[in-house]
Amino acid sequence: MRKTSRRMADGREIIYFDDTPPYPAREAVDTRPLPPADEQPTPQMRFDPLTGEWIAVAAARNDRTFLPAADQDPLSPTVPGGFPTEIAESDYDVVVFENRFPSFSPRATEPASAIDGDPLWPVRPASGRTEVVVFSSEAQGSFGSLSASRARTVIDAWADRTTALSEVPTVEHVFIFENRGREIGVTLPHPHGQIYAFPFVPPKMTTMLARAAAHTRETGRNLFRDVLDAERKAGTRVVASSAHWTAYVPAAARWPVEVHLAPNRDVADLPALTDEERDDLAVVYLDVLGRLDRYYPGVDTLPYISGVFQAPVTRDRDLFRLHLQVFSILRAPGKLKYLAGVESAMASWVNDTTPEQVAARLREVA
């Protein structure tokens, strides 16, 4: 694989990850008349004193591209005489670039302040980085539609970006994810995902770290290791396994369809994976996504959200263990799980099926 970094018309970085020899020079120039990114409004973070959480405020995102016509896909290659896209090259393998409408930005550098001058509501610049990961030059698809070799390239790109973003002084956590389906809110059918480099450790991660710390104090063991060992021992919720990975439906799954994929070796993040573990991840993850698409009769593409959960950049790395989570809000063909009042308002979850039933169905459709 070859990596090439270039600049877009407004100064944002774009990185080409080529896996198909002979590797092109990647010298195409983005000629769009875009205003400089350094001169655009930047996002900020506001502190919620009731929950202790930082809320990103990125008003420019309201203008982001929404369900464009097929000939105006911003993630397609730019062809001569065609619509100029975010990617100046006429073809590519895998591309990563800074989001034009970021939730977190390296250009957010304004001084800290407070809403209405009241220290109750601190404000900080939403520094960090928001990136788009384009899996393929194909107009439609998702990670699950990739070949194993291309999936491996994407995994290498994820690991590369995790390493690079972890070196940014303001970044505390790197989260990689993919949304699929209009039901999830996806506005571009082009196969792609995103990376958020947070300037703080997000709430769910904070909760998991607190639970892991308490478990270590009580038992002297790693919580994530114990969960994986317990799932493998029970076997009733294991969906797929290989030399290096185990996929299972968690015993306390909260979503209608939910699968976790964990390495069999204790690993903190993607960069720590060996070549063999990365190869195996591509195969097993594609297997799991294929099963998800066969889960409901008559549903060819299951809407889902998938995320790569990695250890934070600077704290509690010994407590955490790399794993992937993928879940769907589809509870039956044509029926979405809408969050009820107790779920939306109180984050108290109710699942409409049992994890054991879900796992059995996923084994059935292997």
Cis before 22? omega within 30: yes
Identify the CATH number of the domain in which residue 312 sits: 3.30.428.10
Q: Which of 244, 214, 222, 246 is nearest to 233 (CA)?
A: 246
105 plus 174 within the same structural domain: yes
Q: Which residues pair with 306 in a beta bridge?
A: 178, 326
280 shares a domain with 151: no
Same domain, 25 and 99: yes
| pLDDT band for position 339 (cuts 50, 70, 90) | confident
Which pLDDT belongs to residue 192? Answer: 97
Mark which of 183, 200, 217 sits at the end of a domain. Answer: 200
pTM here? Answer: 0.96
Q: What is the average per-residue pLDDT within 182-210?
A: 95
Of the candidates 161, 180, 200, which is a domain's last residue? 200
The residue to which tokens 């070799």 are assigned? 149
DSSP per-residue string spanning 256-316 = SEEEEEEESS--SSGGG--HHHHHHHHHHHHHHHHHHHTSSTT-SS--EEEEEE---SSS-
Mean pLDDT for the stretch of residues 212-219: 98
Catalytic residues, which ones? 192
Total domains, the chain: 2
205-215 pLDDT per residue, tens? 999 999 999 99
Instruction: Kindly state whether residues 158 and 218 are assigned to the same domain.
Output: no
Q: For 28-144, list the strands marked E by DSSP.
A: 44-48, 53-57, 94-98, 113-114, 122-125, 129-134
Domain with 176 in it: 2-200
Per-residue model confidence as pLDDT tens digits over 50-79: 999 999 999 888 777 777 888 899 999 999
